[in-house]
Amino acid sequence: MESIWRQTASMPDVPCLEGDTRTDILIIGGGIAGLLCAWALDRAGADYLLVEARELCAGVTGNTTAKITAQHGILYQKLLPSLGLEKTRLYFEANQRAVAEYRALCRELDCDFTEQTAYVFARSDPEKLKRERAVYRALGAEAALRKTSPLPFPVAGCLGLAGQGQFHPLKFLARIARGLNLRAHTKVRALAPGEARTDHGVVRANKIVLATHFPILNKHGLYPLKMYQHRSYVLALRGAASLEGMYVSQDDTGLSFRTYRDLLLLGGGGHRTGRPGGGWRELRALARRWYPEAQEVAHWAAQDCVTLDGGAYVGSYAPQTPDLFVATGFNKWGMTTALAGAHILQDLLQGRANIYAPAFDPGRPMAGGAAAANAAASAAHLLTPTVPRCPHLGCALRYNAQEDAWECPCHGSRFDRSGALLDGPATDDLRRPPPAR
């Protein structure tokens, strides 16, 4: 089923590439990361072109929950040990600036923006919330810790960051996309330095930005080692009690709550892609318990890239590829990080320094233990002798019965029952259809 965003807004029709062309900057991927980068470059008068494999926002962006906040769960206490205080402050400030910029932009664009307080809640021990509040103070920000919430279960604590927001992401991006230099239905099949090959022609560019969600180039940058994908499920409920504020759980359940008009969007049921998880079944059981009067009007699912320290990767792709750039690893907080990232990329692509870039540097050291654990988790699936295998790096695919899809437990590529590609980083369909289930 389509998300409520896709049911209630359409992205502009964009032509596909027709023949070889040349540009200064090529952006690959027409989700929020690519589109905001194109928009920032367009306003700066740059020569750029964006190509998208499907329609605009056909990927994760069309299936988000679109909370606009610099409060990314309890991120800042996780970032502090790896980034240090100054870069953690820059990371927070870049996201807060993005919230302010959305607020200003949304005044001009009809996209159902409402200002909200963002809350992260704990159901049992509030200790981590207290720690996060202390980190906010060290960053120069204030967040209020409360013992109660309007959620339909008791909480041990609720940490609120005021002045955040929520919107309709596709109404916003449809307006942003107007007048930009875009080509849709133009999938990049192969990348070489200064060149991207598509079925409709070759694009030659001085600089290339990979905004393909999970990067499609394995050779440099170690992205398959330092990221994985995590899937989440959403129900849109009509008739649930209305809610002030936007909520996300502090723990790994990923439970999330926001309203859109008369609907409550309940998120959760998540799991690392290709691993078992609760999915819509778990969410429906929760909805029956918490909102017995409510009616489900839509359900959808999507996945996001998760990094090992919780921070996004925006900037130079790898030391060996000086003209290649990336925006990825948004850890389910891509609304603000994509906008912050667009400004970082705009500066770097135009040869200027950006004060926030060091906090998002894709080349920052990986936490050793986490990288080893992620590598070991992938190695186990590489050695599993079952078929079908993922064309990305050869891991054994797992069947997700709730979504009738085959998923890679290593890096998160997905395929439908006929073997057609649903989500990257794989770039091709399976050579043979998977066994019938």
Q: Which residues bind ligand FAD (CB under 6 A)?
A: 28-34, 51-54, 58-61, 63-67, 187-188, 211-213, 216, 232, 234, 267, 302-304, 330, 332-336, 338, 424, 427
Least Cβ distance, residue 322 to ligand FAD (angstroms): 21
Least Cβ distance, residue 271 to ligand FAD (angstroms): 12
Least Cβ distance, residue 72 to ligand FAD (angstroms): 8
Least Cβ distance, residue 379 to ligand FAD (angstroms): 26
Query: By C-beta, is 89 or 213 nearer to ligand FAD?
Result: 213
Listed residue (217, 429, 419) closest to 318, CA to CA: 217
Query: Residues with Cβ < 8 Å from 369, sequence gap 6 or more?
Result: none
Query: By C-beta, is 197 or 238 nearer to ligand FAD?
Result: 197
Taking CA atoms, 165 is separated from 23, 119, 162, 250, 264, in Å, by 36, 11, 9, 19, 15
Least Cβ distance, residue 297 to ligand FAD (angstroms): 17
Q: Is the dihedral of CA 350, 353, 354, 357 positive or negative?
A: positive
Amino acid (one-letter) located at 321: T
Least Cβ distance, residue 370 to ligand FAD (angstroms): 20
Query: By C-beta, is 32 or 139 nearer to ligand FAD?
Result: 32
Query: By C-beta, is 232 or 378 nearer to ligand FAD?
Result: 232
Straight-line distance from the first to the last Cα atom of the chain, in angstroms, rounded to the nearest whole number = 21
Query: By C-beta, is 132 or 304 nearer to ligand FAD?
Result: 304
Distance (Å, whole) CA 143 – CA 235: 29
Strand 295-307 relative to strand 313-316: parallel, antiparallel, unpaired?
unpaired
Q: For residue 46, what are its two tokens?
A: 């740059």
Least Cβ distance, residue 283 to ligand FAD (angstroms): 11
Listed residue (260, 199, 207) closest to 235, CA to CA: 260
Least Cβ distance, residue 28 to ligand FAD (angstroms): 5
Q: Is the dihedral of CA 202, 313, 323, 365 positive or negative?
A: negative
Taking CA atoms, 18 is separated from 196, 203, 283, in Å, by 14, 10, 45
How many CB atoms are closer than 10 A to CB 384?
14
Q: 124-153 burial string, b = 16+ CB within 10 Å, else e? A: eebebbeebbebbeebebebeeeeebebee
Least Cβ distance, residue 272 to ligand FAD (angstroms): 13
Query: By C-beta, is 341 or 388 nearer to ligand FAD?
Result: 341
Query: By C-beta, is 281 or 352 nearer to ligand FAD?
Result: 281
Query: By C-beta, is 188 or 294 nearer to ligand FAD?
Result: 188
Query: Residues with Cβ < 8 Å from 139, sequence gap 6 or more?
Result: 76, 85, 88, 89, 92, 93
Query: By C-beta, is 78 or 383 nearer to ligand FAD?
Result: 78
Give the containing element (helix H, strand E) for 257.
strand 256-260
